[in-house]
Amino acid sequence: MADPLKTADITGNAAADLTAAAPEAAVAELPPEVVAQSLGEYVRAYVARIRAGESGVLPVVLAMVAIVLVFQVISPNNVYLSPGNLVNLFQQSAVIMVLAMAEAFALILGEIDLSIGFVGACGAAITVQLIQPATTNWPWPLAVLAGLLFCLVFGAIQGTLITRLHLPSFIVTLAGYLVANGLFLKILLFGPFSGYPNLIGQTDNLHFIYNLMWGTIDPVVSWIGAGVVVAALGGFIWFSDSRRRTSGLVAPPASLSLIKIGLIAVVAIVVVGICNLNRGVLIVQEGVPWVIPIVLAVLGAWTVLLGRTKYGRYLYAIGGNPEAARRAGINLARVRTIAFMLCSFTAGIALLLYASYLNGMSNNVQAGYYVLYAVAAAVIGGTSLMGGRGKPLHGVLGGLVIGAIYNGMYLLALSFEWQYIVIGLVLLAAIIIDAVARRGSASGSVTRI
Amino acid sequence: MTPAVATGEPLLKIRELDKHFGPVQALYHVDLDVPPGQVTALCGDNGAGKTVLTKCIAGIYQIDHGQVSWEGHAVHIHNARDAARLGIETVYQDLALADNLDIVQNMFLGRERLRNGLLDEDSMERSAAETLSSLRVTTVRSIRQPVASLSGGQRQSVAVAKAVMWNSKLVLMDEPTAALGVVQTRMVLDLIRRLRDKGLAVMVISHNLNDVFEVADNIAVLYLGRMAVHDKASNFDRQSVDEYMTTGGLGRSSGRPAKDS
């Protein structure tokens, strides 16, 4: 499988000179290629990357395993790994996952958006208010659009202030946090709902929003859907990797492509399998909750946007070196403003899930803490606070970690004081790891194919 | 070689260029000719206006007065895109590479190729590899490694490759060897000669006279914002260039007219 044309110098002299000095170095006329061509070399290269502080998602997966094991042992009746609790855990994590994917847009730029919790809450409250049959009774698609539009506009205003007036994002979004918090409480007061517009009722519109979190997909359909997704993703990985291999481009060996596809299939089978077990106590309750494909859809869309479009490339470039991006003719202000819009927009989706989870909107929404959880989740997943590095997948994995801790402490009936303290410490640990990792390597890699 | 050389028409011709920043006159009545297929060295002490002149040509700064003509036609370069459209590419001293992006991503930054609305990574990677191998930049381990992991010389090579990939006709290089060791400096000078042999015009901004005399065909010396001298490299020796740089003229009198050949 190894291409004889490619140099096999895996140890690689990092301090090597830039060009082949002597013209007799004819071999060197070949295009430079990736050196790791076999699976073994890939494993060694991966170990070297971890040593260099570029660990990818491995630590967060290991941390996840450790958290799960600990809570499984100490949770009452070992209920932690029961299907009911695992689905519950995922539902609790979903809001943080999507909010963390939202925050990624700001973090990749090296900025932060503290407002998204309450901006998203405003959007979700608008949606919930608009579908109330007692008042406006809008159809849900229009109401959802209106809520998300609010988020886009709020994000556009903040983004414009930050990029055109060169104000620090920390302060602008802190102000935005307070403004949105006040607006949120104002929105709740409309209508005859005593500040608590809820999803209890018999209209399709209310049911739809309620089902975002609590609706389930028929088990058979779940299996078929998972099969289609794995086949599509696997086919894409396999064909694009093998096309790159045959045309001599940098590509992983076939065995690594197969391992990737296998991992995706295993995760799909485990998740769907757990969800399809009956987790009901009094009635049969089974099937994949809607929220899982919703989170995956956001993950897929933003992964493509960030990894495979010009916009995503420019976002990383600005996060890595704004001056280089400016000289490359990139419109920095536009890219940045759109990032803050996408950030708020995605937060609107997250808080809509939260509204569904709470069966309505009220001033109990802890949107302020959720922003910090979202930042923590993104950083735990591997996104850098210094900009230039991060992926939507990091938010999902980090959100799962935060959700797993949160859920475990909830099962142990620890008071919320302890929950704040523990999650605060987890955030701190993640930032320390980020800082130490960066000392190892000047900067991380970004999206690869 | 383009016929421009035969007819003596320079690729880039600048006449009476003025540029000021507030009350500070950075450039005053500067004339400069940059012929194709030759290396022009722009020398001068710190603050002489080398970088300002480069940025005027690259479209970063707007000129106040003066004429710029490109291949015999008067042009107005308003921004970096205008310059790129003409075929002017700049390699800055700080290289302007995004550390977190890989070599291919940096080389195509701002000019990505698309297929069906998505980035066409395969095609970009192939072209980047071709350009690098045509410049014999071959010691990078993987074209997909982040630029952060490259040595100083390798980064310089990537920045040069990025500049020449766009059918550019003039490559401006700001202090290309300033941060490099002896061996890597040699590599970069070889690279400059290779660009010249490809028929490109190269303008190197440097105050390292060793480098200047090694690669330059023409030498222009700026002194306090004025063009002190502009002539063939063979008409200079190290001492005379040094004197122009430090005093603006030979023997403290502007003995030579500040004119090109």
Q: What is the CATH number of the domain that holds B72?
A: 3.40.50.300
Q: Where are the beta strands (DSSP E) in A79-230?
A: 216-217
Q: Using CB atoms, which residue from B92, B142, B187 is nearest to A33? A: B142
C-alpha span between B113 and B108 (Å, rounded): 8
Place of tokens 């140890």: A11
Interchain proximity A317–B98, CB inside 8 Å? yes
pLDDT value of residue A37: 60
d(CA A176, CA A209): 26
Name the residue with tokens 């850098």: A384
Contacts of A14 (CB under 8 A, 6+ apart): B149, B151
Band (A446; pLDDT cuts 50, 70, 90): very low
Closest CA to B207 of B171, B178, B233, B181: B178
Listed residues B162, B181, B213: the one ending a domain: B162
At A248, the pLDDT band (50, 70, 90 cuts) reads confident
How far apart (Å, rounded) are the C-alpha atoms in residues B210 and A256? Answer: 50
Domain boundaries, chain A: 60-215+305-440, 219-289
CA B164 to chain A, closest CA, distance in angstroms equals: 14
Residues of chain B with C-beta less than 8 angstroms from the C-beta of A32: 129, 132-133, 137-143
Contact present, B104 and B162 (Cβ < 8 Å): no
What does the longest C-alpha to C-alpha distance in chain A come to?
Answer: 85
Q: What is the pLDDT of residue B135?
A: 81
**Residues B27, B142: one domain?**
no
CB contact under 8 A, A34 and B132: no
- Minimal Cβ distance to B137: which of A18, A33, A316: A18
A232 φ/ψ angles, rounded to the nearest 5 degrees:
-65, -50
- As a CATH number, domain A60-215+305-440 is 1.10.3470
Contact A17 B151 (CB under 8 A): yes
CB A380 within 8 A of CB A426: yes
Q: What pLDDT does residue B41 have?
A: 93
- B19 DSSP assignment: E
What is the nearest CA distance from A387 to chain B, expressed in angstroms?
A: 9
Same-domain pairing of B244 and B205:
yes
Q: What is the pLDDT of residue A51?
A: 62
* Chain-chain contact of A32 with B143 (C-beta, under 8 angstroms): yes
Q: Are residues B188 and B259 in the same domain?
A: yes
CB contact under 8 A, A328 and B110: yes
Inspect the interface and report whether the beta carbons of A448 and B144 lie closer than 8 Å: yes
Q: Do B81 and A324 touch (CB under 8 A)?
A: no
Residue appearing with tokens 């932060």: A112
Determine the residue among B57, B81, B103, B141 to mutate to test chain A binding: the one whose Cβ has the most chain A Cβ atoms within 10 Å: B141
- pLDDT per residue as tens, chain B (261 positions): 333 333 467 899 999 999 999 888 899 999 999 999 999 999 988 888 888 999 999 888 889 999 999 998 999 998 888 888 899 998 888 878 999 999 999 999 988 999 999 999 999 999 999 888 888 777 777 888 888 888 888 888 899 888 888 878 999 998 888 877 788 888 888 889 988 988 899 999 987 888 889 999 999 999 998 998 898 988 888 888 888 888 887 765 444 444 444
CB contact under 8 A, B146 and A443: yes
Is the pLDDT at A444 greater than 50? The verdict is no
Residue among B106, B130, B184 whose CB faces A18 most closely: B184
The pairing of strands B170-174 and B118-119 is: unpaired
Q: How far apart are CA B112 and CA A309, in angstroms?
A: 9
Same domain flag for B179 and B146: no
* Dihedral, A57, A389, A380, A54 alpha carbons, nearest 10: 50
Nearest to B148 among A17, A314, A441 (CB): A441
With an 8 Å Cβ cutoff, are A32 and B135 in contact?
A: no
Q: Which of A114-118, A365-369, B256-260 has the highest mean pLDDT?
A: A114-118
Task: Name which of B80, B99, B188 is nearest A327 (Cβ-Cβ).
Answer: B80
Q: Are both B4 and B26 inside the same structural domain?
A: yes
| A&B contacts, CB < 8 Å | 173
Integer-rounded Cα Rg, in Å, for chain A is 24
Subunit contact A446:B100, Cβ cutoff 8 A: yes
Q: What does residue A289 show for φ and ψ, rounded to 5 degrees?
A: -65, 145
CA A406, A411, A415, A421 dihedral sign is negative
CB atoms A309 and B117 under 8 Å: yes
Residue of A nearest to B131 (CA): A31
Q: Which residues contact A263 (CB under 8 A, 6 or more apart)?
A: none
Q: Is A22 on the interface with B (CB under 8 A)?
A: no
Residues B102, B51 share a domain: no
Which domain-ending residue is among B104, B133, B162?
B162
Q: So what's the pLDDT on residue A437?
A: 67
What is the predicted pLDDT for the residue at B252? 53
ipTM comes to 0.81
Give the separation between CA A296 and CA B117, rounded to whole angstroms.
22
Beta-bridge partner residues of B91:
B173
Q: Which of B75, B43, B59 is nearest to B209 (CA)?
A: B43
Q: Which residues of B175-189 are buried (b: 16+ CB within 10 A; e: fewer)?
A: bbbeebeeebbbbbb
CA–CA separation, B79 vs B62, rounded Å? 8
Q: How many residues can be counted in chain A?
A: 449
Per-residue model confidence (pLDDT) at position B251: 65
- Please give the mean pLDDT across all residues of chain A: 85
| Cα distances (Å, whole numbers) of residue B135 to A400, B2, B88, B131 | 48, 21, 18, 6
User: Does B172 lie in the same domain as B65?
Assistant: yes
Residues of B in contact with A34 (CB under 8 A): 141-144
Among A62-66, A321-325, B199-203, B247-251, where is mean pLDDT lowest?
Answer: B247-251
Asked if A32 and B141 come within 8 Å (Cβ–Cβ), the reply is: yes
Q: Round to whole Å and give the CA distance between A313 and B112.
A: 9
How would residue A231 be classed by pLDDT, with cut points 50, 70 and 90?
very high
Element (H, E) at A351: helix A332-358
- Yes or no: say if A189 and A195 are a contact pair by the CB < 8 Å rule: yes
Q: Testing the interface with B: which of A7, A18, A236 to mutate, by most B Cβ within 10 A?
A: A18
- Model pLDDT, residue A25: 31
Question: Are B2 and B121 within one domain?
Answer: no
Q: Per the structure block, which two tokens stand in for A165?
A: 């007036």
Is pLDDT at A445 greater than 60 in this prediction? no
- A-chain residue closest to B117, CA distance: A309
Which ranges of A75-139 does DSSP label H, i.e. alpha helix?
A: 83-108, 116-130
Q: Sort out which chain A residues have CB atoms less than 8 A from B129's CB and list them.
A: 31-33
- What total of structural domains would you count in chain B? 2
What range defines the domain where residue B130 resides? 95-162
The lowest-confidence range among A151-155, A298-302, B228-232 is B228-232
The pLDDT value recorded for residue B257 is: 47
Please state the separation of Cα B70 from the chain's center in Å: 15
Which among B125, B136, B183 has the least Cβ separation from residue A29?
A: B136
Query: Percent of chain A having pLDDT more than 70?
Result: 87
Q: How far apart are CA A347 and CA A442, in angstroms?
A: 31
Core vs surface per residue B106-131: b (16+ CB within 10 A) or e: bbbbbebeeeeeebbbbebbbbbbeb
DSSP bridge pairs for A216: A289
CB < 8 Å to A449, chain B: 121
Contacts (Cβ under 8 Å, ≥6 apart) of A297: none
Q: Which residues in chain B touch residue A445, judged by CB atoms under 8 angstroms apart? A: 100, 102, 146
Give the single-character DSSP code of A198: B
A29 in B contact zone (CB under 8 Å): yes
Examine the pLDDT at A10 and tell me if it is beyond 70: no
B110–A330 C-beta distance less than 8 A: yes
Assess whether B158 and B173 both reside in one domain.
Answer: no
On the question of pLDDT at A36 being above 60, the answer is no
B199 and B111 belong to one structural domain: no
- Comparing C-alpha atoms, which of A328, A409, A433 is closest to residue A70? A409
How many whole angstroms separate alpha carbon A404 and alpha carbon A406? Answer: 5
Whether residues B258 and B178 share a domain: the answer is yes
- Domain end point (choices B162, B196, B213): B162
